[in-house]
Structure 1
Amino acid sequence: MSGKWVYMALAAFTGVLLSFELHLIPILISSLGMIRVIHRESFKLLTLYITCMLFFYFVSERVKTANVSQYESPAKIQAVALTFKEYPQIDGNRLKAVAITPDKEKFMLLYKIPSENQKNDLMHNLRSGLTCIMDGQLVRPEANRNEHAFNYELYLKRMDIHWIFEPDSITATDCHLNKASPAGVLQNMRASGIQTIENKFPEKLASYAAALIFGERSLISEEADRSYKQLGVVHLLAISGLHVGIIAGSAFFLCIRSGMTRESVFWTLFIFLPGYAVLSGGNPPVIRAVIMAILLLSSKKWRLPLSTLDIFSLSFILFLIFDPLLIYHIGFQLSYAVTFALTLSSGYFFRKNEQALWQMINISVVSMLSSLPVLSYHFYEFSLISIAANLLFVPFYTLILLPAVFILFAISFTGSPIFNMAAAVVDRVVQLSEKIASAAGSLPFSVILTGKPSTLGMIFIVSGILAFFVLKEKRIHPLKCALPLIFILICHSAIQKYSAYGEVVFIDVGQGDSILIKLPYNQGIYMIDTGGQLSFPVAEWQERRKPFKVGRDTLIPFLKSKGISRIDKLILTHSDADHIGAADELIGELEIGEILISPNSWIKPIMADVVNKAFKEKIAVKEVKAGYGWENKSGSFHFIYPFDDEYEGNDDSLVLYASFGRIDWLFTGDLEKGGEEEVLSRYSRLDIDVLKVGHHGSRGSSSEPFIQMIKPEYAIISAGKSNRYGHPHAEVLEILEEENIRIFRTDEHGAIHYRFTSKGGTFKTVLPYDSERNP
């Protein structure tokens, strides 16, 4: 089987895919795999290939069957004994951990800590392996409410977790420590090490040290994480296969230099490496590197006929035997995609006599290309300057920063005054590297936006990458090799940008408004409001490291998934946080043609901040009112309210009347009954097909005379699920239902889409639409 294990890995992969994802791609992969075996190999290997594929298919089917919960519906449960499977994560006033019941069912435990004293008590007492008696509520995990958004429900299900458990309280006196498992001991050691780093290292350096030593990335600042992602070197902020290789190599060298025999070194590493995988967080890239290192050591010790590709393939097979669902883990996908490409291309990409610089360039090129499909699918973009960035940052991290933080961590236990001086120097170096990363990441065209590729788009992108490697193997110039992929990416971008279909999306931003209008053939991209959150001052102990932000966590990923990097007009209807609170997150991140605001709405501080940031970014800001409008080949857009320049709040919301997609729209912001009466008095008739209901369906808006005058066929209500205001109010729903208006609600249906051409269009919702409830 020497040199043939790659076929078994491919068979395992296709078997898992055929079970979990029965569509074009797994069928295509399995077919190509069998054709390859039939054409190049023996009938015996074909039999093994099919047997392996069927084995993993049935293993995956069994995993699917077993992945169920004993609880059928949300319920209050009492006196349940939950054991912490891992060291609990405490961030601000939130505690999060995976906990296991006596029946071996896993819950995602989420607890809002009520006081600083209890937080300190929990941080001191909780640990992996601790069992606590708790009362609490089972809650269903939230499915994604926007297209292409992170699906938390599916994410948990793939970890065999079906419920979120919200305890009423957690008290250390109700807990006892079981006999600790080796993994639990190592997890607690990891948590203790991270805490030591937080307490002793300078703040900036501490975030890097925790990431590089223990794989804990939560301490990395939002700005640094964003900069490294734009550079395509964010993998350096976590423990990767490269780090494991350096650590294993260093350990081997030190053991040999200390006089240990090779036999002793082998068994030391055999025990140390799995332990370090747990200490570093147990992420798939680390586990892959550890498995490969152990297989490599074993093959040398026992002279097994295994090539590097065989070792890679065996590690892949072992991973899938352990958990087939790991194929959905982004770290798993990236690690194996890049390693597979580097392994296969090593023979013709990396010649022995080649200069070190060219070797590094080739490694960067292969890494960028092999990761491109995964990054495009999950993050909708990839870094174009990652090749140059890797040349700078990989040596810095592997040769300077990684050894430095390990040495500093060791010195920190000695109490030596050298630690503070050395840590201060390294901290300055880290700060400088962050500034360089930020400057490089902000360069034009540093990131290429791909949007979310379709299945066919993924096939073409992967084909373009394979064409590059095939042509490069034939010693063709790299630029010529890249032409097929460049052509495919240009076509993919053009198809997205100049699609004949337009779309209106009422984005689910919780309790707020945000509406995207994308016209066919790139004739205009407009956004009405951005949503936002009301922020309340909290005590320092309650502050979370990376609190949820509507712009960063909802709007920007959604727009990128659509391939949108520019908004022609950003319409901010009025100065409420739930309508414009996320505007400052979009400014600077996206290109914005102009911002339209209600007259004098900038007198409110929140709008003034947006206007000031727009001016700094040299974005035109216009005050507009009734009479202002524009037209293009796809439709016409006119503001019909307000009529004066005095700003008084909701009743001075910009109201947009638009005609496109063969229907007429009215977007009303937070217009209330007073404003509706002014509209009624000014316009004798408004024929509307779709009404964006004012003020989230509040009883203060949508008066019966107003609804009867405009007579919409559809009403869209943007409101947060279980919001504190009770929106939409029953009175408004009754008026709409009495007029036989079909109602769509973001709180019940998630994001609402209208896809159209010049001939018309159709509505769809992200969550299932209950047609019986909504006439």
Structure 2
Amino acid sequence: MSLKGRVFYVCFPLILVVLTQMIHNIFMIFLGIYFCFLFKRFSKGFGLSVILITIIAFLCLLLPQPLNKTEIKGKIVGLDEKSIVVKMGYHKVKVYGEFKEIKMYDEITLIGKPYVINETGNDYAFNYQNYLYSLNIFDILKLEQVTSLKHVTHPYHYLEKKVKTKTKVSSLLSLFILGAKDEQMKNYYEKLTKLSLVHLFALSGMHLMILQKWLNHLTKFFFSKRMQNIVSLVVIGFYLSIIPYNISFLRAYLMMLLVQLFKRIFNPLDLFSLLTVGMLFYNPYLIYNLSFIFSYTIYFFILLLQKKDRGKYYLFLGSVPIIISIQHALPVFSFLTAPLLMPMVEVIYQTMLYYLILGKPILYILSFEYEILLKMIDFLTDFSFSLHFSQPTFFFIGVYYYLYLKGIYKINMQRKIHQELSLLFAVLLAFYFYPFYNMKGQVVMIDVGQGDCFFIQQPFHKGNILIDTGGLKNTDVATKRIIPYLESQGVFSLDAVFISHQDFDHCGALESLKTHFKVKEVIESFKEKRIGNLHFKNLALDKRYVSENDRSSIIYVTINHLNYLFTGDISQEVEKDLYQTYQKLEVDVLKVAHHGSKSSSSDDLFKMMNPKIALISVGKNNLYRHPSYTTLKKLKSYGIKIYRSDEMGMVKIVYYGNKNYIFIHNNP
């Protein structure tokens, strides 16, 4: 029995195996549904064979593990101002430190100590560790000593020398030829990201096709058509081997090579399925790499569309859920601007290729083209606008791609797709308005390290409030931790930001937050404030305190039948005064003062309240050793359930109707 046209049906469940292992067991359900389809579509023998292969795949799929070595020896395959990446066979090691007179592909032996990067414990945050794992970087070290260094002459250095001109185009040359982004391109790269046009400027299958056509054009006077393809494959393979690792470019080249070698045995979809499974089993963490997801998903749709002209613009719709997942926004004109910029990018890329051969005279042409390109990007940025979305749900993604694939089927059958297009836009529109009819509300302790930051989201978009912003000296908490979570929840403006007091760990991120996010009002002093359905009271006393901590606002608010008390950094002195003033206060959820310091949480506080839950916002392994053993012991003695961000990450109290539920980011 010929496997041509059937390999995809064998490979698809293997991809589900990886998704089950790496993301969620829910994909087991899809496996079961798929096997039912398989027995209905094919013979029992074929179906049983696929099940057997899937079981073997489950048993054979192994996750790569760190080397856990402090002395490493290998080749430098990555280099920036703060670190290098050393390749040791399959594994790569990232080493932070100061390196002098080091070049790419030098051979190095060094000694380092394990370096731990504290990952944020917030939902939908960028997971740097998984990203490094997707690049085969499984160890991170801090440099202690370079024991040996051998400079190696490598073809890469020739390309590097060619692209490092003293002109403006140096950055663009580096981006297109080496696949490396420098600081000079950072501003324009951010604009391209907002326009969802980064894929045009990062080395990809499009550039490889241009390169192949260019090479075929140069060699057509010397070789036959078949030999042109062979020569171009050899040259591109050599080029790919000397530049830094690029997932999209590698996928395009391997597909080109496999089609050339096995086109009589397998069809392109078969080969692409084998390539995808091979890459995922080589490194399952690729599933977390956005370049991999974008490149492989879009190329899959290209294959399904079977080069139909009608599907050329329909293809762009296939990237919508991916773009929303990355940016939580959809540039409205991105589908129009991409076709507009594509010819310009193709011309510039070919000009760069001629520059590599002809040298300096071509720079004048390239500089002219570069100026036009920058003006086009600025123009598109000025006139573009985006629709904001919350983090796509599995349900939305599933419905969207079901309709999208149904549209592809109709295109291939030469049928109209008006109904599918209408439904796609209807689903997109419904999801756009989702935050406005979302019945869920939540009170969230955002993990900002050593500091306080609490987010309150009311149902039906009636009010979004932040109490304190946190603040870290070496990290922009606003852009790295707070804003990504707010956007994932469909929140793109804050009705109010309460600042309890002026300590940096409570308000240090405020300026950055106001710069990068819409904040309607900052409240530093108040008595009472109503926002949406919530009534906030400041219980701070009229008594003047010497300490800035003791002047903290003490915010009391009732949210869905639970009484919350946010105590800032008040000390036992203030707690005693509170007791004498109020005697009795109904509190269900207590934000423990001063991150659990022993200078707070006195018996006076608990004489006037009997909280069920204690929230402690504190940094992992902090210098102050917060929370103190004394405070924790006291909270436990009163039978209070403790939730702390250093151990559990983000803590959410979510409410629907009259019910409240607690979710934590990490299981303790």
Q: CA, structure 1 residues 473+338, in 2 after alignment: closer, same or farther (shift >3 Å)? A: same
1:762 corresponds, among 657, 661, 664, to 661
Q: Which residue of 1 aligns with 2:64?
A: 67
Q: Which residue of 2 aligns with 1:436?
A: 379
Question: Shift in Å at residue 248 of structure 1?
Answer: 1.0
Query: Is it true that 1:175 corresponds to 2:148 in the alignment?
Result: yes
Question: Shift in Å at residue 9 of structure 1?
Answer: 4.1
Residue correspondence of structure 1 range 551-570 to structure 2 within 5 A: 551-570=478-497
Contact 2:496 2:521 in 1 (8 A): yes
TM-score after normalising by structure 1: 0.76
Q: Secondary structure at the match of 1:217?
A: coil
Take 1:57 and 1:201, find their aligned partners in 2: how far apart are those partners?
A: 57
Take 1:175 and 1:767, find their aligned partners in 2: how far apart are those partners?
A: 42
2:312 corresponds, among 363, 382, 399, to 363
1:132-170: CA deviation from partner (whole Å, max 9, x where unpaired): 141x33356655511122334444555666543333x23
Take 2:565 and 2:391, find their aligned partners in 1: how far apart are those partners?
A: 29
Query: Is it true that 1:97 corresponds to 2:73 in the alignment?
Result: no
Q: CA, structure 1 residues 450+131, in 2 after alignment: closer, same or farther (shift >3 Å)? A: same
Query: Is it true that 1:340 corresponds to 2:288 in the alignment?
Result: no
Q: Which residue of 1 aligns with 2:93?
A: 108
Question: Shift in Å at residue 286 of structure 1?
Answer: 0.8
Take 1:267 and 1:471, find their aligned partners in 2: how far apart are those partners?
A: 36
Contact 2:403 2:420 in 1 (8 A): no
- The alignment's C-alpha RMSD in Å is 3.7
Contact 2:4 2:270 in 1 (8 A): yes
Query: Is it true that 1:741 corresponds to 2:603 in the alignment?
Result: no
Query: Is it true that 1:465 corresponds to 2:404 in the alignment?
Result: yes
Q: Which residue of 2 aligns with 1:605?
A: none
Take 1:268 and 1:330, find their aligned partners in 2: how far apart are those partners?
A: 32
Contact 1:719 1:746 in 2 (8 A): yes
Residue correspondence of structure 1 range 103-502 to structure 2 within 5 A: 106=91, 108-113=93-98, 119=99, 121=100, 124-125=101-102, 127-128=104-105, 130-134=107-111, 136-138=112-114, 142=118, 144-157=120-133, 162-167=138-143, 169-171=144-146, 174-177=147-150, 189-190=155-156, 193-194=159-160, 197-198=163-164, 200-202=166-168, 205-217=169-181, 219=183, 221-257=185-221, 259-262=222-225, 264-298=227-261, 304=264, 307-316=267-276, 318-320=278-280, 322-323=282-283, 325-346=285-306, 349-350=308-309, 363-367=312-316, 369-399=317-347, 401-408=348-355, 416=360, 418=361, 424-441=367-384, 443=385, 446-453=386-393, 455-470=394-409, 480-494=419-433, 496-502=435-441
Q: Secondary structure at the match of 1:200?
A: coil
Structure 1: which amino acid aligns with 2:322?
Answer: V
Question: Shift in Å at residue 250 of structure 1?
Answer: 0.4
Q: Which residue of 1 aligns with 2:476?
A: 549
Q: Secondary structure at the match of 1:271?
A: helix
Take 1:706 and 1:192, find their aligned partners in 2: how far apart are those partners?
A: 70
Q: Secondary structure at the match of 2:61?
A: helix
1:434-458: CA deviation from partner (whole Å, max 9, x where unpaired): 42243244x2xx23414141x3333
Contact 1:146 1:766 in 2 (8 A): yes
Q: CA, structure 1 residues 675+501, in 2 after alignment: closer, same or farther (shift >3 Å)? A: same
Contact 1:7 1:49 in 2 (8 A): no
Q: Which residue of 2 aligns with 1:84?
A: 74
Take 2:581 and 2:163, find their aligned partners in 1: how far apart are those partners?
A: 67
Q: Which residue of 2 aligns with 1:10?
A: 12
Contact 2:435 2:460 in 1 (8 A): no
Q: CA, structure 1 residues 51+381, in 2 after alignment: closer, same or farther (shift >3 Å)? A: farther
Q: Which residue of 1 aligns with 2:530?
A: 630
Take 1:767 and 1:589, find their aligned partners in 2: how far apart are those partners?
A: 28
Question: Shift in Å at residue 3 of structure 1?
Answer: 4.2
Larger CA deviation: 654-663 vs 637-646: 637-646
Contact 2:388 2:492 in 1 (8 A): no
Take 1:142 and 1:435, find their aligned partners in 2: how far apart are those partners?
A: 37
Q: Which residue of 1 aligns with 2:538?
A: 639
Q: Secondary structure at the match of 1:641?
A: coil
Q: Which residue of 1 aligns with 2:505?
A: 578
Q: Secondary structure at the match of 2:608?
A: helix
Contact 1:653 1:670 in 2 (8 A): yes
Unaligned 5+ runs, structure 1: 72-76, 114-118, 352-361, 536-547, 599-623, 770-775
Q: CA, structure 1 residues 684+145, in 2 after alignment: closer, same or farther (shift >3 Å)? A: same
Q: Secondary structure at the match of 1:756?
A: strand
Q: CA, structure 1 residues 379+420, in 2 after alignment: closer, same or farther (shift >3 Å)? A: closer
Larger CA deviation: 334-343 vs 380-389: 380-389
1:596 corresponds, among 498, 509, 522, to 522
1:389-414: CA deviation from partner (whole Å, max 9, x where unpaired): 21222222122x32344445556xx5
Q: Which residue of 2 aligns with 1:607?
A: none
Structure 2: which amino acid aligns with 1:762?
Answer: Y
Take 2:505 and 2:353, find their aligned partners in 1: how far apart are those partners?
A: 46
Unaligned 5+ runs, structure 2: none
Query: Is it true that 1:518 corresponds to 2:457 in the alignment?
Result: yes
Q: CA, structure 1 residues 671+18, in 2 after alignment: closer, same or farther (shift >3 Å)? A: closer
Q: What fraction of aligned residue pairs are identical, expressed as a percent?
A: 21
Take 1:198 and 1:655, find their aligned partners in 2: how far apart are those partners?
A: 57
Query: Is it true that 1:687 corresponds to 2:564 in the alignment?
Result: no
Contact 1:688 1:712 in 2 (8 A): yes
Structure 1: which amino acid aligns with 2:490?
Answer: G
2:612 corresponds, among 701, 705, 713, to 713
Q: CA, structure 1 residues 127+133, in 2 after alignment: closer, same or farther (shift >3 Å)? A: same
Structure 2: which amino acid aligns with 1:625?
Answer: F
Take 1:6 and 1:294, find their aligned partners in 2: how far apart are those partners?
A: 18
Q: CA, structure 1 residues 105+275, in 2 after alignment: closer, same or farther (shift >3 Å)? A: closer
Q: Which residue of 2 aligns with 1:540?
A: none
1:272-298: CA deviation from partner (whole Å, max 9, x where unpaired): 222222344332211121122223444
Contact 2:618 2:644 in 1 (8 A): yes
Structure 2: which amino acid aligns with 1:10?
Answer: F
Question: Shift in Å at residue 665 of structure 1?
Answer: 0.8
Q: Secondary structure at the match of 1:762?
A: strand
Question: Shift in Å at residue 310 of structure 1?
Answer: 4.7
Q: Secondary structure at the match of 2:627?
A: coil
Take 1:753 and 1:323, find their aligned partners in 2: how far apart are those partners?
A: 33
Structure 2: which amino acid aligns with 1:170?
Answer: Q
1:447-474: CA deviation from partner (whole Å, max 9, x where unpaired): 3414141x33332222232344345567
Q: CA, structure 1 residues 20+95, in 2 after alignment: closer, same or farther (shift >3 Å)? A: closer
TM-score after normalising by structure 2: 0.87
Q: CA, structure 1 residues 197+725, in 2 after alignment: closer, same or farther (shift >3 Å)? A: farther
